[in-house]
Amino acid sequence: MLESRLAEMNLALPELGAAAGSFVGYKKSGNLLFISGQLPLKDGRPTLVGRLGEDVTVEQGYEAAQQCALNVLAQIKAAIDGRWDRVAQVVRLGGFVRCTPDFADAPKVVNGASDLFVRLFGAAGAHARAAVGVSSLPMNVAVEVEAVVEIIA
């Protein structure tokens, strides 16, 4: 079970909070599940604010991206009623890294999310991805991650 693998890594899925805007946390279309951008929130509070290349290290950003991935997983769990066997594959991740204009390591930061999906789902966790540096993110967090997952009906 996915939660037991997370526990072995000293990680846990967070409780889902309400969406903080005019959107939903996930949307199904056919066999695809689109997960809205997830912030590095734990207990409703940001785990990391700041900008990469200024006051946040790549290692801290990596951990924040991992927290975003945990929040993505919580959304997936809600969408599939906790039946992890319904996850066919992770199709794509989009990672947004709040950073200085000259910061060139956004991919290393977003690896925090990518690595977790591969560790949990193996080959089915390997995915297409974008890692983009941005000037602003909600709540001044350092990272945001969105996902597309193929599910079995």
Residue-wise pLDDT tens digits, 77-133? 999 999 999 999 999 999 999 999 999 999 999 999 999 999 999 999 999 999 999
Q: Whole-angstrom Cα distance, residue 51 to residue 95? A: 14
Neighbour tally for 43: CB within 10 Å? 8
Angle at 107 between CA 104 and CA 118, to 5 degrees: 170
The reported pTM is 0.96
